[in-house]
Structure 1
Amino acid sequence: MNGSGAGRGIAAALGFALVLGADGAAAQRAELAGWARLQADTFTSGPPSGQFDGQGVRAAAPRFPSQPVQGFSGIQFGPACGVFWSTGDNGYGNRANSPDFLLRIHRLVPEFQTARGGSGRLRGDGFVPLADPDARVAFLLVREFAGDRLLTGGDLDPESMVAAPDGTFWLGDEFGPFLLHFGADGRLLAAPIAFPNGAAGTVRSPQNPAVAANGTAPGAVSAANLGASRGVEGMARMPESGRLLALLEGTVTGDPAGRLRLYTFDPARGTFGDTVRFYPLDSPAHAIGDMAAVNEREFLVIERDGAQGDSARFKRVFRIDLSRADADGVVAKELVADLLDTANPHRLGGFGLTYRMPYLTIENLLVMDSRTLLVMNDNNYPATGGRGRDVKDATEMILIRLPRPLALARGVGRPAGCADPLAGVRR
C-alpha cells in the first residue's frame, strides 16, 4: 500500500515519506523516539515450566528452571510513574503445552534509549499472580487440588487487559472467549463472562470448556463458532462512560469474512450493549494485536499479517471511529503508523534510519500523549524468527512519535504528575 511513484517523488522533495491509509489518503511516517529491550531468556520465581509438548505429552524434565517473564499481550499504566502493567498470555502456544505456565500480571520498567541517551533496558519488577481461590470458575482447573488454585495456561489465555480506576483488572480471554475480572491482588472476583451471539447463544472457541467437554461426534459440526486463538485480543476502556470495548481477533461463524466484532460492556451493570460494530481487516488473513482508547469514539488498533522477519509486510496501527459506521456496522478506519516503516533518525537500538518491528505478533498498545504511542511485541517465548531465523525473539518496547496529534479525551495518556520519558528530546 505504498504511494504512487509521483507521490513518493513529491514526498522525497519535501523531506518526508508517505504511506497510504485504508482510504487511500497519504500520511507522514511516524518516528522512533524511544527503545528498550528485554532479552529473551529472562525468568522469575516459580516452579519449573515447559515440560509438555503440543499434544500434552510430558517430557522427562522441564525445559526451563522457573517461569519466563515473556509473552506480553496487553499493557496499561502501572502503580507508579514509569512502571507498566502487562499481562502474560497462556504460555507456550496452546492449552496442551502450558499447564505448568502460571498466569500473572507483570510489572515492567523501561529505561528508554532516546536521542539524549539511555540504557535501552527493559526489566521485570515483580508480578501479581492470578488465582481463583473462591472457585468462581465452574470447570476443573489444572491446579484444582494444589491448594492455591493458581491459574495456568492450561485454564485460560488472557490476551488483553484494562486497569480499572478502582485498582482492579479486566482481562480478555481467548479460550472461552471470556471477560475476566480480577482484584488488585489477582483474585478472580466473578465467574468468567461469555460473549453473546444473539439467538445462537454465546460465542465459543474450540477451547471453550463446554465445547471441549461435550466433544464433537464423528461427522458432526463443531459447536464452536469462533476459531482457536481468536478471542478477545484487544480491549480498552471508554474514557467518558467507563464501558469496555472488546475486539475479537477472529470472525464469528455467519459474519462476513474479515469482519471482527466490537462489543461494548458496562462493568457497573454487568451487561453487554445491544449494538455490535465491526472492525474491517485489510485482508481476511490478517489478525489484530491490541487496541487503545483515544476518546469515547476513537480507538487505535494494531493489525498485522502472519509473517515475521524479512517476510513481514503488514504491521500497522489504525484509528477507528465508532461514530462513523456504515449500514452494516463496519467502522471507518485510517492509518496512523506503519511499524515496518518507522523513521529512525537517531539510529536507536542500533538499527538504521528505518526501524522495523518485524515480529510475528505485536500485542501491546498504549497512548502516552497526543503525539506518542507505546508499542511492544509478544515474543511467543521461546520462538525465533523476528530478528533472524535462529535468533530468539526478544521483547522490544518502543515509543513512536506521530506526525499529527490525536484528539485525546481527558484522562487518556500518561497519568498526571508523571514525567514525560521524552522530556528534553527535540521534537
Structure 2
Amino acid sequence: MRKVLIGVTALLSLASSAPAATLVGYAQLPADTFAAGPASGAYSGAGLRGQPRFSSQPVQGFSGVQFGKDGSYLFLSDNGFGSKADSADYLLRLYTLNLSARTAPSGEGKVGVGAFVQLRDPDRKVPWLIVNEASSERLLTGADFDVEGFAVAPDGTLWVGDEFGPYLLHFSADGRLLDAPIATPNLAGLPTLRGQAPIVIGHRGSSGTRPEHTLEAYRVAIEAGADFVEPDLVVTKDGVLIARHEPVIAVVDAAGKVLEATADVATRPEFASRLTTKKVDGVEVRGYFAEDFTLAELKTLKAVERLPALRGRAYDGQFQIPTLAEVIALVRDVEAKTGRKIGIYPETKHPTYFQQMGVNTSQLLIDTLKKEGFTDPARVFIQSFETANLKALKTDIMPKAGLNLPLVQLVSSPDEAPYDWAAGGDTRKYDVLATDAGLKEIATYASGVGAYKRWIITDKGQTTDFVTRAHAAGLLVHPWTFRNEATYLLPGYAGDPEAEMRQALRAGVDGFFTDFPATGARVVGQYTAPEVRSPQNPAYALGTSSAAANVGGSGGFEGVTLSPDGKTLYALLEKTVTGDLPGQLRLHAYDLAGKGWSLAGRYALDDAANAIGDLTPVNAGQYLVLERDNASGAAAKAKRVYLVSLNEKNADGTLKKTLVADLMNVKDPQGLAPSTQGGVFKFPYVTIENVLVLDANTLLVANDNNYPGTGGRGADVKDATEFLWLRLDTPLTLAPGVGRK
C-alpha cells in the first residue's frame, strides 16, 4: 500500500509542476441551444412522464468529436438528460458544427449548428424493445443507448461506443443501424495454469452456512455455484469412509467439557463408554473417535456446528453424518436434475494414523470410487497433507485399479510438517515443499498443490511469486481457506472477503477452497462471465438480476477511436470491471475486418475515483486520453490530457502515460476566455469528453455540459459548451492522416 501511495503522490506532484498548455483559440455554445425535433424533457429521474420542459431537442451535451466535411466538426450527443430513466424523449444524434475561434482579444468566437444525423434502427437490428419500438424509423433515444464516443471508418460508416451495454454500434453514414449491437467480451485474462476458469471448491460443503460435512452443506454449496465439494474422509469401525474433518467427532477436556464437536455424540449416554484418549499425529486427543463406531451407530447421531460462537446453532440436530457413497449419490442426483456436472475433492485424513490401525484409506478411497463408478479424472481431485500416500496412489494403487486421477499435495504453514515425515524421523517442514525444488518434486507425483493461502498472500497483504513458481513446475494451485467472517480477513480488506478472493485470482490461482461458495462463485463469475455488463444492460430489464453486472453504471465505452491505418477500433471503458484492480480501465481493440476482440492494455487512473472522457489517436502506438475527477466549479482539481503509449508499460503492467495538458491550469496570456483570471484559464466542468488532434502542436478540447446542468461556472449558471484550441509546449509525433487534412 505504501508503494501505491508514494506513486500517486509523485504523479500528482508531476501533474502540478508540468508546463501548462496555452489557449490560442476560444469559442462557446450557449447551454440553451436547440435543434428541430419533438418536445423533450418530459421524464423525471424515476422514469415518470410529465409535461415536456423543452419544445424541441437540446443540441447538448457532446460526448465525442471527429472531423466533418469542409472544415466542419461532427459532435455526438450523449444519452440526454443524465440518466436512462429521464432520457426517453432525447434523440441520439451527430451534429455538424462550424467552429470559428476567437484568437485575439478583439476577435469573436462563433459556433454554428448545422445539419444532424439521426441515429435510428428501421431494420430492427436491436433485438430488445426500444422506446420507439412501434414507429417505422425507430429513432434511438437516450433511454435506449448511452452513446459516448465514435469514429468514422474508412468506408464512411460510423462506429459508436455505448455505456449501457456496453456495446459497439455500427451505423451507416446517415445513421442507420447496420448490425445488432455488439456485446463486450469479458477479457479478464486471469493467469491460471492453462488459461482455464478457476474452480470454486466448497470447503467441507457450504460450511459457513450449514454444519460442515453434511449432505445439506454439500447441497447448499452446489446450489451456490461450487464446482467441487470437499469430503474429508475418515473410517468407521466397520470400514466405511464417512465425511468428517477429523477422526475425533467430539473433543472433550478432562472436566468433561466439549471443546469442539461436529456431532452430538457427547450428549448421548449410550455412547459414554466410547470416550477415550488417543494420539493423532503425535498429539494426545481426548474424545469420541469415528473408528470406534459402526456406521449404523454413527447414523443415529446428528451433526452440530463446529464453530457455534461464530456461526450459531440454527441447524444443530437436523442432519446425519454422510458416507462418501452418499456424497457421490447427491452429486449424481444434482447432475440428473440439472445437467450440471459437479466434482468431488476428497481428502484422506491422517493416513499414517489409520495405517497404524491397519487401514489403508487411500486404497479404500479408490475401491469406493470404483464401486460407485465415479472415476472421471475431470471430476475428482484426491488431496492429502502427507506425501507417501499420494506417491503410493500414483505408482501403485491407481495403476492397479486402472485409474489415473489427479492428486493434490496439501502444503500447510512453514512451521508444520507432513506427519509421515515426522513419524519417520524426517525433521524437514512444509517450507521445503514450497521451494522451486520442492515444487518440482511434487510435480513428479501430483497435478496440483493445495497451499495454505499465506504462501500466496502474506500476512501483510502482499502477493508472492508462489503461484508463478508452482505454474512453472506445471502444478495447479488451489489455496485454502477463504472465509467471509471478518475474524479471518486481513485488516487491509476492510471486512470485504471478495477483495481477498480477487487478489488470489489476480495472482493466478486455479481455484480455491471456501466456506462460502456463494461468495466464491460470485467473484469467479465476475471474471468468467462471457460479457462485460453494466446495470443498465437490457438483459436486466428482461428479468435477469442486475446484481450480475460487472462494471459500474454507465461505465462502458466512454472513449472510442480508430487507429491511424483505419483497421482497428479502440474502445476504453470509463469504469473498472469488477475484479480488476481499482482504477485500472480496460482498453479494448476491435478488428474491423476480422470482427475480433483483444485487450490492448489497461489504463491506470491517477485516482480510482476518476473517470476518462475521450480517446483519440496520435500515431500507431500513442493515443490521447482525457482524464477527470468528478467535481465541478471550485471543487474541480483534475482535468487532464494524457499521452498514452500502447507499446510501453509500467512495472504493474499498465500503459505508460505522460501528462500533455493540465486543463485546470491553461495559460491564457491574451485573455481569450471570459473566465480567465490572472492569465490562467480553468475548465472546471464535471465532464471533459471531447478531444481531437488538429496538428502536431494543437488540440481541440470541449466539455459535455450534462444539459441542463449547472455548477461549472456558477451554482445557478447553466453549463455552456466551451471549445478550446490548445497549443502544446511539446509537439506530438503524428502519424500520416492524423490531424485536420
Q: Flag whether TM exceeds 0.5 (same fold).
A: yes
The Cα offsets for residues 306-337 of structure 1, whole Å up to 9 and x where unpaired, read as 10011111001111101012465310011100
Read off the aligned partner of 1:78 and give its amino acid letter.
Answer: G
**Counterparts of 2:46 and 2:641 in 1: how far apart (Å)?**
35
Select the residue among 63, 68, 79 that pairs with 2:58: 68
State the partner residue of 1:247. Answer: 572
**Counterparts of 1:366 and 1:322 in 2: how far apart (Å)?**
18
More strand by percentage: 1
Instruction: State the shift of 1:295 in Å.
Output: 0.5
The alignment partner of 1:310 has SS state of: helix
Alignment check: 8 A CA contact 1:22 1:334 kept? no
Read off the aligned partner of 2:30 and give its amino acid letter.
Answer: Q
Select the residue among 22, 40, 51 that pairs with 1:31: 22
The alignment partner of 1:291 has SS state of: strand
Instruction: State the shift of 1:285 in Å.
Output: 0.6
Matched, 1:151 2:151: no
Matched, 1:109 2:434: no
State the partner residue of 1:380. Answer: 706
Matched, 1:86 2:411: no
Read off the aligned partner of 1:177 and give its amino acid letter.
Answer: P
Instruction: State the shift of 1:240 in Å.
Output: 2.9
The Cα offsets for residues 190-231 of structure 1, whole Å up to 9 and x where unpaired, read as 111111114420000001111222242xxxx81110100111
The Cα offsets for residues 328-385 of structure 1, whole Å up to 9 and x where unpaired, read as 5310011100001000011002223101110110100000000100000000000000
The alignment partner of 2:45 has SS state of: coil
State the partner residue of 1:194. Answer: 183
Instruction: State the shift of 1:276 in Å.
Output: 4.1
Read off the aligned partner of 1:51 and give its amino acid letter.
Answer: A
The alignment partner of 2:548 has SS state of: coil
Alignment check: 8 A CA contact 2:153 2:566 kept? no
Residues 134-145 of structure 1 mapped to structure 2, 5 A cutoff: 134-145=123-134
Alignment check: 8 A CA contact 1:171 1:179 kept? yes
| Pair 54,304 (structure 1): closer, same or farther in 2 beyond 3 Å | same
Alignment check: 8 A CA contact 1:205 1:211 kept? no
Select the residue among 533, 537, 554 that pairs with 1:204: 533
The alignment partner of 2:18 has SS state of: strand
Read off the aligned partner of 2:31 and give its amino acid letter.
Answer: A
Alignment check: 8 A CA contact 2:666 2:681 kept? yes
**Counterparts of 1:129 and 1:136 in 2: how far apart (Å)?**
16
**Counterparts of 1:111 and 1:206 in 2: how far apart (Å)?**
40
Q: How many residues align?
A: 390
**Counterparts of 1:77 and 1:23 in 2: how far apart (Å)?**
35
The Cα offsets for residues 42-69 of structure 1, whole Å up to 9 and x where unpaired, read as 101000000000001111x200000001
Residues 17-416 of structure 1 mapped to structure 2, 5 A cutoff: 24=14, 27-59=18-50, 61-81=51-71, 83-115=72-104, 117-198=106-187, 199-216=528-545, 222-240=547-565, 242-273=567-598, 275-326=599-650, 329-350=653-674, 351-352=676-677, 353-415=679-741
Moved more, 332-341 or 322-331: 322-331
Alignment check: 8 A CA contact 1:22 1:335 kept? no
State the partner residue of 1:7. Answer: none
More helix by percentage: 2
The Cα offsets for residues 225-273 of structure 1, whole Å up to 9 and x where unpaired, read as 0100111001111113620111000000110000000010011111112
Instruction: State the shift of 1:115 in Å.
Output: 2.3
TM-score (structure 1 length as normaliser) = 0.88
| Pair 88,116 (structure 1): closer, same or farther in 2 beyond 3 Å | same
State the partner residue of 2:332. Answer: none
**Counterparts of 2:651 and 2:714 in 1: how far apart (Å)?**
45
Q: Identity over the aligned pairs, expressed in percent?
A: 52
Read off the aligned partner of 2:659 and give its amino acid letter.
Answer: L
Read off the aligned partner of 1:393 and give its amino acid letter.
Answer: D
Instruction: State the shift of 1:394 in Å.
Output: 0.4
The alignment partner of 1:240 has SS state of: coil
State the partner residue of 1:418. Answer: none
Gaps of 5+ in 1: 1-19, 416-427
Instruction: State the shift of 1:117 in Å.
Output: 4.5
**Counterparts of 2:576 and 2:584 in 1: how far apart (Å)?**
6
The alignment partner of 2:634 has SS state of: helix
**Counterparts of 1:280 and 1:313 in 2: how far apart (Å)?**
18
Alignment check: 8 A CA contact 2:154 2:566 kept? no
**Counterparts of 2:694 and 2:152 in 1: how far apart (Å)?**
15
**Counterparts of 1:379 and 1:360 in 2: how far apart (Å)?**
8
Read off the aligned partner of 1:202 and give its amino acid letter.
Answer: E
Read off the aligned partner of 2:175 and give its amino acid letter.
Answer: G
Read off the aligned partner of 2:574 and give its amino acid letter.
Answer: E
The Cα offsets for residues 81-133 of structure 1, whole Å up to 9 and x where unpaired, read as 1x100110110011110000111011111111002753212121120001001
Instruction: State the shift of 1:163 in Å.
Output: 1.5
Alignment check: 8 A CA contact 2:627 2:640 kept? yes
Read off the aligned partner of 1:214 and give its amino acid letter.
Answer: G
The alignment partner of 2:542 has SS state of: helix
Moved more, 363-372 or 112-121: 112-121
Cα-Cα RMSD:
1.7
| Pair 293,21 (structure 1): closer, same or farther in 2 beyond 3 Å | farther
**Counterparts of 1:131 and 1:401 in 2: how far apart (Å)?**
38
**Counterparts of 1:21 and 1:121 in 2: how far apart (Å)?**
37
Greater relative contact order (CA < 8 Å, ≥ 6 in sequence): 1
Instruction: State the shift of 1:39 in Å.
Output: 0.3
**Counterparts of 2:653 and 2:126 in 1: how far apart (Å)?**
33
Alignment check: 8 A CA contact 2:102 2:672 kept? yes
Gaps of 5+ in 2: 1-9, 188-527
The alignment partner of 1:91 has SS state of: coil
Instruction: State the shift of 1:23 in Å.
Output: 8.7
**Counterparts of 1:97 and 1:215 in 2: how far apart (Å)?**
22
The alignment partner of 1:222 has SS state of: helix
Alignment check: 8 A CA contact 1:176 1:194 kept? yes
Instruction: State the shift of 1:22 in Å.
Output: 6.2
